[in-house]
Amino acid sequence: MPNMKYIGLHASGGADQMYLAEGPLPNCGPNEVVIKVAAAGINRPDILQREGLYDPPKQASPVMGLEAAGEVSEIGLAVEGWNVGDKVCALCNGGAYAEYVAVPAGQCLPIPGDLSLVEAASLPETFFTVWANVFLRGNLSRGDSILIHGGASGIGVAAIQLSKAFGATVLATARSSAKCKACEKIGADWAIDSRSNDFASQVMRITDNVGVDVILDMVGGDYIRKNIKCAAVDGRIINIAFLAGAVTEINFMPIMIKRLTLTGSTLRPQTPEFKRKIATDLNKKVWPLIASGKIRPIIHDCFSMNEVAEAHLMMEENQHIGKIIMTVD
């Protein structure tokens, strides 16, 4: 049986624990396709998994990697709608840091427009996450306002562009003037340097003390309390990560007075049916916007498989704007 190359781990820990390994190709289940990977996205959960802080689901590949783009090399017996040779991008349950990855067919999407496979690899994890949280959980609607924390991150640049495309007023936070300028360049109406400003006070000033309808937060920590302060009446606050910590002390009275909704989710443990629904929504409502150029992938840098440690270190340094990609030769 032929082998493939993949990124293995000597042990949980730093980026130096990753190495280029060799092992068997993934099996193709009846409802899966196998993709010959051209490129894979680097995401925060990969770093957490590498550190031993984010175990993959029981049935998922133990190899890192949550999104990939490439060519279908094998299709399962029950799969319809895909053929060997199709160019696809896909949300993976794991295993994308490899030459081949098996993915539920319902989590695959065509390459929008004339995007390259490298550009397409930057889409699935971020757009699935933003759609599930901002639009399904947060119910963002035309005319709403939204505050997006970490606006220059991979999630942030997708959320800014999507929210703007669907008619929202967009505020974003970032931790440098350069990142704030990048947020404004891709569509944010206001960008707040949260390193030198109290973002909650700035949001209330910008909105004439009304606050914002939706808040997408991947920071946590003391942002949780400030989010409550700058949320509008009937506001929806969605947490998708806690880079600054998941524990804080808050006053629940404003939540009751303003009728706020505090919610959050993780994408990876969701069912294939839920992910297939998101893929259907994206293909119908978002992929045409990408194909037309109204929304565009923003890639900060690309690394080869041999340079994956450098890619992880770049993400940990938090100086990037947009996505970091690993190419697979």
Read off the amino acid at residue 150.
Answer: G
Same domain, 222 and 273: no
- What pLDDT, on the 0 to 100 scale, is given for residue 3? 95
DSSP string, 37-48: EEEEEE-HHHHH
Contact 198, 225 (CB under 8 A): no
- What pLDDT, on the 0 to 100 scale, is given for residue 34? 98
Same domain, 85 and 158: no
Q: Which residues contact 93 (CB under 8 A, 6 or more apart)?
A: 56, 57, 59, 60, 61, 66, 103, 104, 107, 268
Gap between the Cα atoms of 88 and 34, Å rounded: 11
Segments of the chain with pLDDT less than 70: 1
Q: Tens digits of per-residue pLDDT, 127-169? A: 999 999 999 999 999 999 999 999 999 999 999 999 999 999 9
- Domain-ending residue, one of 215, 242, 264: 264
DSSP 8-state secondary structure symbol assigned to residue 14: S
Same domain, 176 and 302: no
Read off the amino acid at residue 277.
Answer: K
Assign residue 237 the CATH number of its domain: 3.40.50.720
Closest by Cα among 171, 175, 215, 30 to 104 = 30
Same domain, 321 and 192: no
Angle (nearest 5°) at CA 170 between 265 and 125 = 35
- Quote the distance between the C-alpha of residue 55 and its chain's center: 18
- What pLDDT, on the 0 to 100 scale, is given for residue 5? 98
Same domain, 99 and 138: no
Closest by Cα among 38, 14, 36 to 25 = 36
Domain with 242, as residue range(s), is 127-264
Residue that is written with structure tokens 């396709």 in the block = 33
Closest by Cα among 149, 187, 184, 154 to 46 = 154
- Domain-ending residue, one of 264, 283, 309: 264
CA atoms within 13 A of residue 270's CA, in its CB half-sphere: 22
List phi, psi (to 5°) of 229: -65, -40
Assign residue 54 the CATH number of its domain: 3.90.180.10
- What pLDDT, on the 0 to 100 scale, is given for residue 59? 87
- What pLDDT, on the 0 to 100 scale, is given for residue 1? 63
Gap between the Cα atoms of 90 and 105, Å rounded: 9
- What pLDDT, on the 0 to 100 scale, is given for residue 2? 85
Contact 78, 307 (CB under 8 A): no
Q: Which two tokens stand for residue 84?
A: 């060997």
Q: Which two tokens stand for residue 33?
A: 């396709």
**Domains identified in the chain, total number:** 2
- Domain-ending residue, one of 239, 264, 289: 264
Same domain, 150 and 198: yes
